[in-house]
A = this chain, B = another copy of it.
Amino acid sequence: MSLTVVGSIAYDAVQTPHGGRERMLGGAAVHFALAASFFDEVRVVGPVGDDFGDEEYAVLHGRNVITDDIEHVAGGKTFFWSGIYHENMNSRDTLETDLNVFEHFDPKLSQASRDCDVLFLANILPSLQLNVRRQCDKARFVALDSMDLWINIAKEPLIAAISEVDCVILNDGEVTQFTGEREIVAGARKIMDLGPSAMVVKLGKYGAALVTPDESFWIPAFPVDFVADPTGAGDSFAGGFVGCVAAHGGDASTDVLRLAMAYGTAIASFNVEEFGTERVARLTGEEIVARVEELRRITAFDTVALSLR
């Protein structure tokens, strides 16, 4: 099996109540690829500039991510984002977004990337997502992420892209913005009416929900002792989630998707404990499995027949 991810490769600057970094490796495709690398062979498609160096490649290669389709734009600069998290860590303000080489990104997939069994379309222009999705016509499972900006200014292309994927991943605010529905299941069902057979609704520090045509599934965030930096948590989640589906041969049965929610949750919880990719870059499979098992323990209960009055 092989997994391709298309999306941003970036330098991030962040400030949180616990400190900050002036320049760290980031981007949705990077966080996704590191997380997914525990499950499958992962190819990253995305652009970088002259400033993207050996140290950054080393982080990806350290997790055996295949970087052949990272496009080096000569004379260009890598996408840069900077933001500051509020005191409660729940929300953040973007200070600066320099698209740089990302501005004219036109994904070019090698044959190996096109031949993927599983595809993740990270948050980029919806028309590009559709373009890539159609190139990967053998993919058995395709998931897509997006953001408020595209719901605002490119809703029709986003609907077109959504209609050709198996699974959409958005946060609860975006689902409400997209559908006008306040309730998560109702909103997710409206999006699934466009074509997808599953929808993941990210709830930030409260966890995530999986909605399929017949049921829903809910998992809390793994309770960590300390959150240093939430940046990339959603993409790490997606990497664990989609990676787990890939490890099951693209099988999107309910049991696999639920387990995938747990793996995504576990990896995201490591991501937030340190800045950027720092923690996930040295993560081990054993650590991930231990948190998945702990997630089962902290959510399980037995129903007992009580005779109610």
Q: Which A residues contact B (CB, under 8 angstroms)?
A: 17, 37-40, 64, 88-89, 176, 182-186, 203, 206-207, 209, 215-220, 223-227, 244, 247, 255, 258-259, 261-263, 285, 288-289, 292-293, 296-309
Residue contact B298 to A303, C-beta cutoff 8 Å: no
Q: Which residues of chain B have C-beta atoms less than 8 A from A262's C-beta?
A: 301, 303
Report the minimum CB–CB distance from A199 to chain B (whole Å). 13
Known: A183-B227, A255-B302, A263-B306. 12 other contacts (CB 8 A): A39-B306, A88-B182, A183-B223, A185-B223, A186-B225, A207-B220, A209-B223, A220-B220, A258-B300, A258-B302, A262-B303, A285-B307
Residue contact A293 to B301, C-beta cutoff 8 Å: no
The prevalent SS among residues of A at the interface is loop
Report the minimum CB–CB distance from A44 to chain B (whole Å). 16
What is the CA–CA distance of A40 and B185 in the complex, to the nearest angstrom? 34
Q: Given the known A-B contacts A182-B88, A285-B309, are A219 and B299 also in contact in the complex, defined by CB atoms under 8 Å? A: yes
Residue contact A299 to B259, C-beta cutoff 8 Å: no
**A203's contact among B186, B206, B244, by CB below 8 Å, is which?**
B206
Q: Given the known A-B contacts A206-B206, A308-B285, A309-B64, are A217 and B298 also in contact in the complex, defined by CB atoms under 8 Å? A: yes
> Lowest 4 CB-CB distances: which A-B pairs, in order?
A285-B308, A218-B220, A206-B206, A258-B301
